[in-house]
Chains A and B, each alone.
Chain A
C-alpha cells in the first residue's frame, strides 16, 4: 500500500515537471504578459522615485498593465543599470534615471555599456538645479556671490550634493564661466547639503526646488538662481542664471530608458501611451501634489535631448580636466 502511494506521488511530480519544462509559451501581446518594471538607481523617497510613482499611478489604465517601481541605489546607481542590462530585452524592464549615474559615470569611468545601447523611451519630468544660501547670509544675489568669491578665492564653501551629480555639474560650469574658485563639500546627497546650509556649516548649497520650496517659503533659505531657460513656477521670484549673465542651463531630466530593445514598436507604444497618461488632469494634479514638474517628451525630440546632453557633459568634463 505504502509503495503504491510513493509511486503515485513520484508520477505526479514527474508529470508536473514535464508540464513546466516542456509546455510551450503562448505569445502574448505587449505589454499584457507581465508587469512593467521601472528600475530607479536612487534610494526610495528621492525625486526620481516620486516622479516614477506619479507615472506608475496614472499610466496603467492607458497601457492596461501594472507598473512596478523598484529602487536599487547600490554602487552609485550601477547596480540598477547592471540589473536592467541582465534582464530580457523585451521591453518589460526599463531604467528610470537622470544623467548622473547613467551618463556621468560612463564618461568618468570604465563601464560595461555604450550610450548607443540605450534607447530613451519617455521623459517624465525635469528638475532644475538651484543655488541657495541661508537667509542670514550676507550673499543676497548671484552678483554678491561672485564678488565674495573673487574677494577671497577658495574661501567660500558650497555643498552641491554628490560628486558630479546633477546639482554639482552646473556649479562647475558656473565657476568656469564666472572665473571663481570655491571649496566643494561633497555630501551624501541633497538632504545633507540642505542640513549643512541650515546649520550654517557651509556658505552655499545646490539642490532642487521641490525640496527647497518649504524652507524658502518659511524664510530659512534664499534661492539665488536657477539653471534653466526660464524661471521655475515653484520659485517665481528667483532669476535664472542666464538672467544674471551666466549661460548655465542644465536641467536634470528624468528619462525612462530601454536597453537593446528588441522592438521599436513597443518603445513607440509606451512613449505614446505615457504621453497621453501624463497629459491628463489627474496626472497634473498628482504631480502638483508631489512637487514634480512634468515634461512629457518622446520620440525624436527626446533622442535629440539625450544626444545633446551627452555632448554637453563631455564638454563640461573636458573643462574640469583642464
Chain B
C-alpha cells in the first residue's frame, strides 16, 4: 500500500504531468498527419529515454501513443483520410457525419469513446494482465487463422449491399499485400521484376493514397470544373467557410450514453484483440465496427454518419493501447511494434519485461500504471480544447485545404520510411482509389483485405506445417471451431440485417 502511495505521489509530480501532456499534444498532432503514427514519435524520442527520469520518459511515450491513436481519427472524420491505420474504420461513418454538418459531434463522440475504451483496457492491463495473457497464449496459428477468417467475414458488412464489388475490393487488397515478398520465406513474388517492389507495398502509402489522394483528386476535379464553367465567381462571394452552424453541432452526455453500448462493444473487442500478439489496432477497429452494427438497434444508419459507427471503432482502436502491453508485461513478449519500442525503453532503464518485472520494479511499474490512467484524462482535456479549432478549420472551403493536405500527406508518407517508392505507390493508389470510387467499389474491404492478408497467409501456412499430413488440423481447436461457427452465424444474420436495411433506403 505504501508503495502505491509513493507511486501516486511520483506519478502526479509536475514534471511527469508536463512530459505526459506534451506527449499527448505531440501524439495527437503526429497522429493527425496522414502517413505518420505514434511509432515514429516514440522512436524519435528513444534517445532521450535514459537522459530524463524514467517516469517522465515513459509518461511522454504513453502520451504520444494514446494521443496518436486518437489523432488519426481527426483527419479520418474531417477529411475522410485516416491519419493512422487504426482510424481506417472510423472513416466509414465519421466522414459522412462531417458531410452531414456534424463534425464536432463526430469528433467528440470519437474522443469520449476513445478515452472510455482506453481506460477500460488500462484497467484490464493493471488487474487482469496475467489471466488475459494466459488466454492470449492459447492463440496459435490455427486460432489466428480462424480469427482472420472471422474478420474477413466482416467485409460483407462494409459493402453496403454491393456484395460482389465488396468482395472484389477485398481481394484486390489481398493481392496488393501479396506483392513483393512471401511472408514466410521472404522470397520475392509478384514483383514483376521491379527491384524496388521486393519489400512489398507498405500499408501507409496504400492507405493514404486510397483515401487521401483519391479524395483530393476528386475535390480538385470538382473545383477545377467549377473554375472552367465559371461557377466559382458566385461561390467566391460566399466567403472562406462553407455554411456551418456550430451551435447545432453540440455534443451532450445524453448522446454519449445513447452510444454507450457501441462504445463498450468496442472496448471489450479492442481489449481482447489488443492482447493477442500481432493482431493490431486496425483489425480491432473493424471487428468492433462490425459487431456494433450487428448488435445495434439502428443498424440501417451505419455507413450514413451513425455516431455508433464512430463510437465502436474508436473505442476498439484505443482499447488496444493498454491491452497491447499485456503480453509484454506478463511474459516479456511484445505483441506489437509499439510494445517492442516500450520494451526497449524499459530495458534501457534496467527494467526487463517479463513475469518478474512487477515484483522486481514495483515502484516504477506502479507509477507507470497510475500515469497510464491519468494520461487518458490529459488526452481528454487537451483534445477537447483542440477539437473545436480543428472542426472549424475543416469547414474551410475545400480549395484552400487541397494543397495543404496533399503536401502533408505526401511528406508524412515520405517521413515514415524515407522511401521514394512509397511516393509512387501513394500516387498510384490515389488513382486506383479514384477508379474504384468512380465505379462505386467500396474502399473499406480493400483496406481490411490488405491488413489481414499477410497474417492470414502466414498463420495458415504455419498451421499446415505443424499439422503435417493431418488434413483436419485446422478444425482441431475448440477456439477455432467457435470462431468458424460465429463466422457462419454472423454471416447469415448480417445478410438478413443488410437485406432489410438496404431495402429501407
Contact = CB atoms under 8 A, between A and B. Distances in A.
**A–B direct touch in complex (beta carbons closer than 8 A):** yes
Interface of A: 43-46, 49-50, 53, 56-57, 68-69, 71-72, 74-76, 78-79, 83, 105, 109, 112, 154-155, 157, 162-163, 183-188, 191-192, 194-196, 198-199, 201-202, 211, 213-215, 217-218, 220, 286, 289-291
A162 B184 CA distance: 8
B131 interface: no
15 contacts: A44-B344, A45-B341, A69-B46, A74-B202, A109-B187, A112-B195, A183-B466, A186-B185, A191-B333, A195-B331, A198-B331, A201-B141, A214-B357, A215-B355, A286-B50
A56 B356 CA distance: 28
A183 B188 contact: no
Interface string B26-49: 000000000000010011001100
B187 to A, nearest CB: 7
Given A44-B39, A162-B186, A211-B332, A201 B466 contact: yes
Contacts of B466: 157, 183, 185, 201-202
Nearest to B336: A191
B181 interface: yes
Interface in B308-362: 327, 331-335, 337, 339-344, 347-350, 352-357
A191 B277 contact: yes
A43 B340 contact: yes
A218 B46 contact: no
Interface of B: 39, 42-43, 46-47, 50, 137-141, 180-181, 184-188, 195, 198-200, 202, 277-278, 327, 331-335, 337, 339-344, 347-350, 352-357, 417-419, 458, 462, 465-466, 468
A192 B46 contact: no
Contacts of A220: 331, 355
Contact of A50 (B42, B181, B188, B347): B347
Contacts of A44: 39, 42-43, 46, 337, 340-341, 344
A44 B466 CA distance: 30
Contact of A214 (B352, B419, B468): B352
A25 B188 CA distance: 43
A187 B462 contact: yes
B171 to A, nearest CB: 24
B253 to A, nearest CB: 40
A198 B332 CA distance: 11
A41 B350 CA distance: 24
Residue of B138, B181, B184, B357 with highest tally of chain A CB at under 10 A: B184
Contacts of B187: 109
Given A83-B418, A163-B184, 19 more contacts: A44-B42, A44-B43, A45-B339, A45-B341, A46-B344, A50-B344, A53-B344, A53-B348, A56-B47, A69-B47, A76-B186, A185-B462, A186-B184, A192-B278, A196-B140, A202-B466, A286-B50, A289-B348, A290-B347
Nearest to B328: A191
B460 to A, nearest CB: 12
Contacts of B337: 43-45
Given A44-B337, A215-B354, A220-B331, A186 B417 contact: no
B347 to A, nearest CB: 5
A214 B356 contact: yes
A215 B137 contact: no
A199 B138 contact: yes
Contacts of A198: 137, 331, 333
Contacts of B199: 74-76, 78-79
A24 to B, nearest CB: 28
A163 B183 CA distance: 10
A199 B137 contact: yes
Nearest to A68: B47
